Structure 1
Amino acid sequence: MTKVKICGLTQETHVAAAVAAGADYLGFVFANSRRFITADAAKKITTRVPAAIHKVGVFVQPTFIDIKHTCDIVGLSHIQLHGTITPSVQQALEKGAFQQLDVSVIQAFNGEALDLKEKLQSSLADFILLDAPADTTAYAGGNGQTFNWHIAAKEHTVSKPLFVAGGLNLTNVQQAITCFTPYAVDISSGVETNGTKDSAKITAFIQKVKELSINETTNE
């Protein structure tokens, strides 16, 4: 069954809506973004989140100390890395420091990178995330843009669980799932209205993915 990550959460009411609808992952952005949230604020709005639902911290070129500090405050189960891997994080990946923290690593990649296959094969992360190019956008993700799914699907040959992000919404998520058969889909701007999370859209998106997963299982 395809899992769902609702990313860019900043308000408790939207966290509650995602939890109630059955989200598997909740994403919190600790980097330059209009969805930025502090570690203390993220802790406050997730105090009622069941332990079975994963809390993901989204970072852009952080140091290992930055990550550890945030994990200690929020109680993250996963971190999501965008941009160039910094030396301290690379060292932590190589030495198993994240396993010691009991934190899994999701590494984000430009789904249209010419050397995508090589980058994916060299990644030390536990999960792979494919997203739209961010070179000409203000932020590393959550820009509401898709990428060439069919080309990226051919390049994605590694066996690690795959998250698909970038411009997902109710109308195209079925196509994305068909194209990638991903471990999870990751949405942010697609469940917003006028730049703010929308509880009704969060619920509808999660229900749509669950329905697609049930139909797929039934047809097998």
Structure 2
Amino acid sequence: MKAKICGMNTLEELNIALGAGCDAIGFLVGITHLAEDKVSVPKARELIRSIPPFVTRVAVTHLQTAPDIIPMLEELAVDTVQLHNDILLEEIRKIRETLPYLKIVKSVSVTGTEAIAYAERFVGEVDGIILDSRTADRLGGTGLTHDWSISRRIVEELPLPVILAGGLTPDNLEAAINAVHPYAVDVNSGVETDQKKDPEKVRKFIEIAHQY
């Protein structure tokens, strides 16, 4: 199973994730809600240039309009965009039309069973769904898990790769994978100590994911 490490903003943390064998790296750019790990576009671009081939580069953004998002993605030269917001389908289609090579992942906040119908709206429009937890002031990075039984239903019912996020740690990852059976897993604060990526936690998280 693939593992993404999100919230990179220093070369030191990037090298921790790369050294541990991560499959994808996420950068929080164009952020409108609370996120301690957000990074400027110039800084993210600098870090992205240090990523070797075959590791997926992901821009995670809260922006909601194609004219705001497309120039940023072009400057960053990423492989994938993670739309972590309530962006409209027509805006996603504009991004697809302008950047047809780009993989698009749409976030779904699992706050209840209504998340299933919401996720279904994006079938045929995006390349994957990421299931996350949210609070009033955070769209992700909450450190909170959600109802994995709902996530499991989304995995079973959608003909799309589903990535599991939300409160994952090396300690609960195995249980989460067995409960949900996602395509991949994603972590940010769950592998941090004092708001910094912890080499041992990152290594353990990726090691567990790669066992599946």
The corresponding residue for 2:168 is 168
| Consecutive unaligned residues in structure 1, runs of 5 or more | 214-220
Q: Displacement, 1:149?
A: 0.2
TM superposition outliers: structure 1 runs of 4+ over 3 Å: none
Separation in 1 of the partners of 2:88 and 2:120?
18
Instruction: Provide the TM-score with structure 2 as the length reference.
Output: 0.90
Separation in 2 of the partners of 1:178 and 1:76?
31
Equivalent residue in structure 1 for 2:85, among 83, 97, 105: 83
Instruction: Provide the TM-score with structure 1 as the length reference.
Output: 0.87
SS at match of 1:207: helix
Separation in 2 of the partners of 1:181 and 1:80?
20
Separation in 1 of the partners of 2:144 and 2:163?
15
Pairing 1:1-220 to 2, within 5 Å after superposition: 2-30=1-29, 31-32=31-32, 33-86=35-88, 89-92=91-94, 96-97=96-97, 99-100=99-100, 102-123=101-122, 124-132=125-133, 134-136=134-136, 138-156=137-155, 157-210=157-210, 212-213=211-212
CA distance 1:122–1:98, shift in 2 (3 Å): farther
SS at match of 1:58: strand
**1:82-131 CA distance string (max 9 Å, x none):** 221147624416xx32552x111110111233322221221021101111
Separation in 1 of the partners of 2:135 and 2:168?
19
How many pairs does the alignment contain?
Answer: 206
Counterpart contact for 2:116–2:150, Cα < 8 Å: no
Separation in 1 of the partners of 2:98 and 2:182?
24
When the two chains are superposed, the root-mean-square deviation of aligned CA atoms in Å is: 1.8
Task: State the identity as a percent.
Answer: 27
Separation in 2 of the partners of 1:45 and 1:183?
26
Q: Which moved more, 1:111-120 or 1:139-148?
A: 111-120
Counterpart contact for 1:80–1:107, Cα < 8 Å: yes
